[in-house]
A and B are shown apart, each in its own frame.
Chain A
Amino acid sequence: MTTPTAPDSMYRNDEGLGIWEHRGKVAAVGVGHAPTSRRWDGRPETCVGAITIDALRKAIDDAGVAPDQIDGLVVVPVTTTGAFWEAGKPLPMDVIQSFNQTDDPLDGIAKLSAEWLLKNMPELTNVNFTMYGPGCMSNALNVTAQAVGDGLTHTCLVVKSWHNFEGRYYQGGANAGAALPGTPAITQLWGGPASYSTALQFAEYCRKYGKTHEMMAPFMENSRRNGLRFPEGYWAQHRPEELGPEDYLASRWIAKPANLFDNDIPIMMSGAYLFSTAERAADMKQKPVYILNHASSNTRPRSLLPTLDEVEADTARTGRKIYEGAGITADDLSFENMYDGFSLFHQFHLEGLGYRGIKFGEALDFYQTDISIEGPNPVSPSGGNVGSGRSRVWMHTDCIQQLQGRAGARQVTGVKPEVGVSGGPMPLGGNYTVWSASPD
């Protein structure tokens, strides 16, 4: 079976599309997470392929579905956190030989194909639909929701995994070389780290609205607090440390005004969900969480980096698309779980949504109010990547679990969990899902 990348027609990129045609007819039911780790330890049972199988099996079990009832699989094929298998480095033959392989020996180690998963999950005997959602789980969720709605699959797994190897993030490779090819040289010769673009947008935001980096501290503290209540997350599993304002603000700079904690920590992880039609989901083990809409942004900046004007125009447009397709308004959101890795752009997502009525330039003031899970205005109840490490998955898991009423210690208590929104990654260019406890 050849797995295609999702075509553009799977995404809802434009305004004016009206209510999503499958609103309330697709549901998420099962959730599965593999244990996290900081880096791969080289064992077969902890490689990215193995933890993906673990997460998928947990999602299947969580939904209470027989594996032979599953007919679809959506995969994010890229698994790197910024760590790559260096050219010339010997292949880990013991790991490779522990699995059924595809033509690519690094499949299951430094990348992930649907073919590799199906070869190593013999219980999935009836999968006849596979598709790649590039980038991150947010993208793959849009693809999965649309595929189930369109009838391409009726019971579909979706998975996103990350590998992290030894060595420093994005160092090595071309960045360690004597010269760069001409095209990447135009953007990479100057050495901006990954968070540089976001740092500049944040700097412009602060200048325009008279805000400061210190005003991020309550958001960071709240996010880590929520993350420590996420038993599937990295910080909860390995380093149960709170992140108070003093620790946050004393952290070293990476690309000022972005410091170490504004950059999410790269980890090994895998998260999976089981989606189905609303009809089938009604008989599964967990309460269905209905998809009211998915929306995407494929906007590109005019030049090297998005300006604040470009960011604000696009997040506002994204907000309108999210609400239009779901047939809701900002007032209907019980909570928000927009992306936060890097932390310094979460406010752009919030303002674009108009969450709790906040407007451009107001989110950092909003952070100074009660944004806890116990209050009336929960911000990032998942804790996001700040709270649980780089996955771009926690926000989605949290939406599902909050609306199922099984978010445990993270369960929002200041609002009734009825509708949530999650998605990202970047303010320009992302994919979003609206989740609901009810199909209506």
Chain B
Amino acid sequence: MAKQGVDPDELTQPFWDAANEQRLVIQNCVDCDRLQHPPSNTCRDCDDGGALEWKQVSGRGTIYNYGVVHDCPVRLLQEDQPFNLAVIMLDDDPGIQMYSHLPGVPVDDVPVGAAVEVIFEPSANGQLVPEWRVIDG
């Protein structure tokens, strides 16, 4: 599915740069050693807003949940309706979620709980975007 392009901003530049190198990085608080996603300018758990770093993660996870989108507000995706939209929980920290269209998985036939691994797909302006595919077997 062709996604809109991405214009990285100051906050997310490291995330998108890593994606272009086919690496998945997630913000991590140096003080409380806790991942957070989506990214933010400060740690959401430290009262004094702990220092943040970008930490490479394994790129493995499980399908936590999904819905089937039949009426999408994003114009570019409307021609692909209906499509799966799943939430992936990272193996590195099952509290951290990422979205996926689950390429290759039939619509509304999503194996909740299945293992997945990250892949990177080009968006409309060439920026690579993390996606997830089911690991066979």
Contact = CB atoms under 8 A, between A and B. Distances in A.
Given A193-B71, A304-B38, A183 B7 contact: no
Contacts of B85: 190-192, 196, 255
A1 interface: no
Given A171-B73, A200-B87, A186 B38 contact: yes
Interface in A397-421: none
A255 B38 contact: no
Nearest to A196: B67
Given A191-B72, A255-B67, A177 B4 contact: yes
A188 B75 CA distance: 12
B23 interface: no
Contact of A182 (B9, B83, B98): B9
Interface string B85-106: 1010000000111111100000
Nearest to B88: A304
Contact of A300 (B4, B44, B87): B44
A199 interface: yes
Given A185-B4, A255-B68, A193 B73 contact: yes
Contacts of B97: 303-305
Contacts of B64: 307
A175 B73 contact: yes
A252 interface: yes
Interface string B2-32: 0111111101110110000000000000000
Contact of B39 (A170, A183, A191, A256): A183
Given A169-B73, A190-B100, A255-B85, A182 B13 contact: yes
Contact of B124 (A178, A186, A196): A178
Given A183-B12, A304-B97, A176 B75 contact: yes
Residue picked from A181, A185, A191, most chain B C-beta under 10 Å = A191
Interface residues of A, number: 42
Interface string A280-317: 00000000000000000000101111010000000000
A180 interface: yes
A207 B44 CA distance: 30
B46 interface: no
Contacts, number: 139
A303 B70 contact: no
A258 B69 CA distance: 9
A190 B95 CA distance: 20
B123 interface: yes
Given A170-B73, A196-B85, A302 B95 contact: yes
Contacts of A257: 67
B9 A183 contact: yes
A253 interface: yes
Contacts of B101: 190
A306 to B, nearest CB: 10
Given A178-B4, A303-B95, A185 B12 contact: yes
A207 B70 contact: no
A52 B124 CA distance: 43
Contacts of B13: 182
B6 A182 contact: yes
B53 interface: no
Contacts of B129: 185, 189
B6 A179 contact: yes
A208 to B, nearest CB: 11
A384 B8 CA distance: 41
Interface in B26-57: 36-39, 44
Contacts of B99: 187, 189-190, 192, 304
A256 B16 contact: no
B111 interface: no
Contact of B108 (A170, A254, A256, A307): A256
B12 to A, nearest CB: 4
30 contacts: A170-B73, A171-B73, A171-B75, A178-B125, A180-B7, A181-B7, A182-B11, A183-B9, A186-B15, A186-B39, A187-B99, A189-B129, A190-B3, A190-B100, A191-B72, A191-B74, A192-B67, A192-B69, A193-B69, A196-B67, A200-B65, A203-B67, A204-B65, A252-B70, A252-B71, A253-B70, A254-B70, A255-B69, A255-B71, A304-B97
Interface of B: 3-9, 11-13, 15-16, 36-39, 44, 64-75, 77, 82-83, 85, 87, 95-101, 108, 112, 123-125, 129
Given A185-B4, A191-B77, A304-B87, 18 more contacts: A175-B73, A175-B74, A178-B4, A179-B7, A180-B5, A182-B6, A182-B7, A183-B38, A185-B129, A188-B74, A191-B85, A200-B65, A252-B71, A254-B69, A254-B70, A256-B67, A256-B82, A302-B95
